[in-house]
Amino acid sequence: MGNSSSVLTQYDIEEVQEHCQRLFSQQEIVSLYQRFCQLDRNAKGFISADEFLSVPEFAMNLLSQRLLKMVDGLNFKDFVTFLSAFTAKASVQ
């Protein structure tokens, strides 16, 4: 599930949904996986700090250096969990 040549199965999608407390729909998980694969340029199965910095909005964020410490080396499940904190469906905690 971690590299760009793989395809998400229904089981993978449901597993990721459970991992992020179902804050994303199945279609959103598929879209996030496509974006993850774009960022994971070397198909390592995780995204490095440098790859995160390739996103202009992230690189320009004043908190990016702090966030980089949290996101360096995230695999897909952890990537989705990280992003779930920013969805309107997430609780304040």
Per-residue model confidence (pLDDT) at position 3: 47
Domains of the chain: 10-84 (1.10.238.10)
Q: What is the mean pLDDT of each run of 10 residues along the chain (93 residues)?
A: 68 93 94 94 91 87 85 91 88 77
Per-residue model confidence (pLDDT) at position 1: 60
Q: Distance between CA atoms of 71 and 73, rounded to whole angstroms? A: 6
| Contact (CB, 8 A) for 77 and 83 | no
Per-residue model confidence (pLDDT) at position 88: 86
CA distances from 88 to 9, 23, 83 (A): 26, 9, 11
Per-residue model confidence (pLDDT) at position 35: 93
Q: Distance between CA atoms of 4 and 40, rounded to whole angstroms? A: 7
Per-residue model confidence (pLDDT) at position 58: 84
Q: Distance between CA atoms of 50 and 80, rounded to whole angstroms? A: 18
Per-residue model confidence (pLDDT) at position 18: 93
Per-residue model confidence (pLDDT) at position 59: 83
Q: Where are the alpha helices (DSSP H) in 40-85?
A: 49-52, 56-60, 64-71, 76-84
Per-residue model confidence (pLDDT) at position 4: 44
